[in-house]
Amino acid sequence: MPDNVPSLAEVTMLLAAAALLAASVAISAARLGRSLAMACGWSAVAVGLLVLVNHSIARGAWMPLEDNFDALAALGVMLAGCVLYVQWTRPVGGLDWFVLPVAAILLVAAAVFGKTAPRQYGETAWSITHRLTAYGGTLALVVAGAVGAMYLVANRRLRSKQLAGAAVLGNLERLEEIAHLCLVLGLPLFTVGLVTGLLWGIHLTARGADQQREFFGPKVLLALGAWVLYALALHTPMNPSFRGRKAAVLSLIGLVLMAGTLVAVQFMPGGGRH
């Protein structure tokens, strides 16, 4: 068995972290106490960090970019940490309800794919740049997509006047500002990650037709589709008739394509190495 396969204890702890995030969302949604919800959320982040540190020590490398377990777990922990920090310092009603489940899913995916399909990467300066920018951009764009979903729900409530007894999700203007900020930060990083990944793949194709078939497949098409949608959403302020709900829909569809890209990588032969 490869050295980078996570242990049963690491998998169990990561699943426990995902459960803590789910508990945080449930407590927040039921209004059982903000402090309790935050405690569960930060406990999940702490458990996730402990798992990453322990796995890095076992591998003898500190960067969480060398296999599926590290990469997906790091994304989930970072996403949860960012949202919890925002909710602690300047809360946006309902933000944790939409984003923390995504973080929990990433942790579960890390536990599943890390155990069943571990992959060891041969890192170079180019590949590290690709991974850092791709993961950083993905993180910001996932938040943009989740906030887009929040915008659609809040907008629907406002239009139907179903406000009595409904949880506060933040005003539409602020949600649009947050989504736009995430797009401004995430799209350039994701663009660098996409370009470096494409060039890296083109370089690898020179070594054999099999690698070409592996690389230029669903994951690249889905990533390109997500990039186009997020790029359109980013530029909607230039066209006032295409702001608000339409931009939120684009961000949400982009989030779905992004999730499809992560899943497609796992089921492609050798896909996780590119």
Of 66-75, 185-194, 255-264, the one with minimum mean pLDDT is 255-264
What six digits make up the tokens of 146?
A: 């989740």
Instruction: Measure the CA–CA gap between 218 and 191, rounded to whole angstroms.
Output: 18
Report percent pLDDT > 70 for the chain.
71
The Cβ of residue 196 has, within 10 Å, a number of other Cβ atoms equal to 19
Residue 274 and residue 158 share a domain: yes
Residue 107's pLDDT band (cuts 50, 70, 90): very high
- Is the domain of 79 the same as that of 182? no
Same-domain check for residues 134 and 270: yes
Q: Which domain holds residue 79?
A: 1-120
Higher pLDDT, 20 or 197: 20
Query: Do 104 and 192 share a domain, yes or no?
Result: no
Nearest Cα to Cα of residue 274 among 146, 126, 141, 112: 126
pLDDT for 20 equals: 96
Q: Residue 59 — φ and ψ, nearest 5°? A: -85, -20
Most distant CA atoms of the chain, gap in Å: 63
Residues 41 and 95 in one domain: yes
pLDDT tens digits, one per residue of 127-145: 666 777 888 888 888 888 8
Overall pTM surpassing 0.85 (yes/no): no
Q: What is the rounded CA–CA span in Å between residue 274 and residue 259?
A: 17
Asked if residue 103 and residue 154 are part of one domain, the reply reads no
Contact residues for 59 (Cβ-Cβ < 8 A; gap 6+): 3, 4, 66
**pLDDT of residue 242 exceeding 60:** no
Q: For residue range 203-241, list pLDDT tens digits in order.
A: 666 655 454 455 556 777 777 887 887 777 776 654 445
pLDDT at 1: 42
Is the pLDDT at 92 greater than 50? The verdict is yes
Residues 25 and 46 in one domain: yes
Number of domains composing the chain:
2
Neighbouring CB atoms inside 10 A of 72's CB total 26
Residue 98: its pLDDT value, please?
81
- CA atoms lying within 13 Å on the CB side of residue 167: 16
